[in-house]
Amino acid sequence: MSRPIEHDGVVYRREGSKFLSMCYRDRAGKRQRESTFTEDWQEANKMLRARLDARDGNVLQVVRRGESLSFGEWVDLFLDNYSKPPVRQPGTHSANLRCVQHLKKALATRRLIDVGPDEIELYLRERLRQRVKVRVGKGYRELGLIKAKRFTKKCVCLDGC
């Protein structure tokens, strides 16, 4: 018979590394060892608690996948699985496609977990400083600044509606 498990998880320092590491068991009971990528003991313990909460809420794999998934990859998954008919109306899907063109230029290479409210706010402010481009003949013509009302109508569905 195996020994009973005394702790849910532990934070420790590995030899030869400046970062703290954590060790915990997943839902299947398999031991997982990960770096916390921080030197702060309290931050490392917060990360361990978040992992244990995600494990207990049965979302650990989603959390771990989100840390390595880029924003561009997530957008592609969203468009393929949640934006196309019959899940959404064709007009909503085309609005999402238009919105994604600009978002991918700005955030495609960022990790999904790093895209937060501050980055989105900076993107919106930068986007509102740009001019409207209209396709004419053999090129584009720039009009006035993008209006906030028009901009929010186009990108309304990327917030997970």
Average predicted confidence (pLDDT) for the chain? 82
pLDDT for the residue numbered 30: 87
Most distant CA pair in the chain: distance in Å? 78
Of 20-24, 96-100, 134-138, 149-153, minimum mean pLDDT range: 149-153
Cβ 53 vs Cβ 45: under 8 Å:
no
Q: Which residue has the higher pLDDT, 100 or 155?
A: 100
Average of pLDDT values for 139-148? 86
DSSP assignment letter at 159: G
Residues of the chain above pLDDT 70, percent? 84
pLDDT tens per residue across span 17-68: 899 999 998 888 888 899 998 999 999 999 999 888 888 877 766 666 666 7
Lowest mean pLDDT among 2-6, 87-91, 109-113: 2-6
Secondary structure E strands in the chain: 9-13, 20-25, 31-35, 131-136, 139-145
Give pTM, 2 decimals: 0.52
pLDDT at 161: 39
User: Which pLDDT value is given to residue 70?
Assistant: 86
